[in-house]
Structure 1
């Protein structure tokens, strides 16, 4: 793929040089020639030909994330299988039970 890009860049650069050095050519014309005949098609080509590589990278990243998630779930299952006599603290997510004190109003009967 890069061989195509390099050769096309060389061809369009030579076209731009020929345009700039000709008696009727200008530097602006050479710049437009290089941009429209060289950079734009090369950018599109690199984007299209790079699509399979981008897809492979995305799939590899997703597979790595899935493997990490599976390993985390296996470790959590092993920890839960160890039982309550394990040395790990309680991570159930529940608040500890504590007396409420005077923050709660007593329940009364309606008159």
Structure 2
């Protein structure tokens, strides 16, 4: 693809040089020739021929983002499962059992 772009740019550059150096030509005509016959068509060609690679890059980026999101969700689920497990001893923590507070008993 780039070989075509380089070759056509060379051709249009030579056309512009011929326009600028001819007795009836002008530099403005050379610039317009290079822009309209060279850069504009080559810009369109590069855009059209580059579409498949842009699509591949977009899909690869989206797949990477999805994989990162899935890994984050899996880590969050594993963290939530580990922290939600109850105490294996079945007793209240020591800080909750204060010796200054008497147990509440039912009156007979």
User: What TM-score do you get using the length of structure 2 for normalisation?
Assistant: 0.75
Work out the CA distance in 2 between the residues paired with 1:79 and 1:29: 70
Tell me which structure has the larger Cα radius of gyration: 2
2:80 maps to: 80
Match runs of 1:52-91 below 5 Å: 52-84=52-84
Tell me the CA shift for residue 85 of structure 1: 5.2
Tell me the CA shift for residue 84 of structure 1: 3.0
Tell me the CA shift for residue 79 of structure 1: 1.1
Work out the CA distance in 1 between the residues paired with 2:10 and 2:37: 11
Number of matched residues? Answer: 86
5+ residue gaps in structure 2?
87-108
5+ residue gaps in structure 1?
87-111
1:14 aligns with 2:14: yes
Instruction: Name the SS for the 2:84 alignment partner.
Output: coil
Tell me the CA shift for residue 82 of structure 1: 1.3
The RMSD of aligned alpha carbons is 1.4
Work out the CA distance in 1 between the residues paired with 2:70 and 2:44: 39
Q: Kindly indicate which of the two structures has a greater share of residues assigned to helix.
A: 2
User: What TM-score do you get using the length of structure 1 for normalisation?
Assistant: 0.73
1:28 aligns with 2:28: yes
1:101 maps to: none
Deviation per CA, 1:71-91, whole angstroms, max 9, x where unpaired? 0111111112214359xxxxx
